[in-house]
Amino acid sequence: MSTTPGQRALRRFRSNRGAVAGLVIAFVVLALAVLAPVISGDPYRQDIDGGLSELGAPLGPRDGAPLGTDSLGRDVWSRVVGGAGVSLQIAGLATLISLTIGVAIGLVAGYVGGAVDAALMRLVDLVLAIPFLLLAILLAAMLRSTRLGGGNAAVFITLGVVGWTTMARVVRGKVLSLREQDFVQAARAVGAGTGRILVRHLLPNVAGVVLVLATLGFAQNILAESVLSYLGLGPPPPAPTWGRMLYEGQPYYRTAAWLFIAPGTAILLTVVSFNLLGEGLRDALGG
């Protein structure tokens, strides 16, 4: 009995232990973010009396605070779990923005070609000429002085606007190989317009590579958001973000190592899991 391409892709994915492990860890992180109000306390609550030592120092892991407390008496476990929701939300919205921009530019450049393709690719080259994090830091600093600077919007807009170039180049390359295929020529022959061909015929055929790049881009955005938060360009305090927790725990690296080990481990596991998942999808889909 013959198998469908989807079944073969699923079989290849399931045989990839790294991909399965990445999927499991990513699911756990997502579940923690969704269930945060149930499985953890208030990440903003300061317990000056019970959460700090007599000298005002953070307390280590104990009953009621499995990961200890921070310099303000806040439960580190609650803040790590709360930070999962913030990081996943920012990374998800940033990935959606970069995916929309990158796919649109890649489809148009690859299908239309000519001067349009050349102009769009020069724009891609211009953005790529500036290091990703440097451009993100510059744009985040600019947006911080606007009305968007008081929340998460400045961060995910920044990451989305600077992270679309790889998506655009890969989609363009895929479309260049597809636009001369018989199904595209047939659509032209029956009078289908450019928009219809892009959306109904080309977009479904690049969906696999888009899914892979979106997963890998999600991991990149998690890391980039942590860097921006560490530098003070992420969501403003007291929002529980992993990068900000690393920064706040830095002075206590000798006396209260849990303050940076907890968020650092969360960042590491999340980024690695989505990278493993993306690599597994690429192998499974043959892209």
User: What mean pLDDT do residues 88-99 have?
Assistant: 94
Give residue 149's pLDDT: 59
pLDDT of 1 higher than 60: no
Mean pLDDT value of segment 12-41:
91
| Residue 57 within a domain | no
Q: What's the mean pLDDT in 245-265?
A: 89
What tens digit of pLDDT does each residue of 113-150 get? 899 999 999 999 998 888 888 888 888 888 777 766 56
In a domain, 36, yes or no: no
Mean pLDDT over 176-203 rounds to 86
User: 47-51: long-range contacts (C-beta < 8 A, 24 or more apart)?
Assistant: 47/73, 47/74, 47/75, 48/72, 48/73, 49/73, 51/75
Nearest-angstrom CA–CA distance, 145 and 123: 26
Residue 78 within any structural domain of the chain: no
The total number of structural domains in the chain stands at 1
Mean pLDDT, rounded, of the chain = 88
Inform me whether the pLDDT recorded for 14 exceeds 80. yes
Maximum C-alpha span of the chain = 81
**164 domain-assigned:** yes
Q: How confident is the model at residue 239, as a pLDDT? A: 85
Instruction: Evaluate if residue 177 carries a pLDDT over 80.
Output: yes
136 found inside a domain? yes
Closest-CA residue to 222 (of 130, 94, 77, 32): 94
Residue 66 lies in a domain: no
pLDDT score at 194: 84
The CATH number of residue 210's host domain is 1.10.3720.10
Q: Is residue 169 part of a domain?
A: yes
Domain that holds residue 201: 87-273
Token representation of residue 245 = 């927790």
Q: Would you say residue 253 has pLDDT above 70?
A: yes
Please answer whether residues 221 and 163 qualify as being in contact, where contact means their C-beta atoms are separated by less than 8 angstroms: yes
**Is 25 domain-assigned?**
no
- Predicted model pTM: 0.89
Instruction: Report how far apart, in Å, the C-alpha atoms of 242 and of each of 118, 154, 227, 254, 262 are.
Output: 40, 17, 9, 19, 9
Q: Is the pLDDT reported for residue 287 higher than 60?
A: no
Per-residue model confidence (pLDDT) at position 220: 93
* Cα–Cα distance, 132 to 273 (Å, whole number): 22
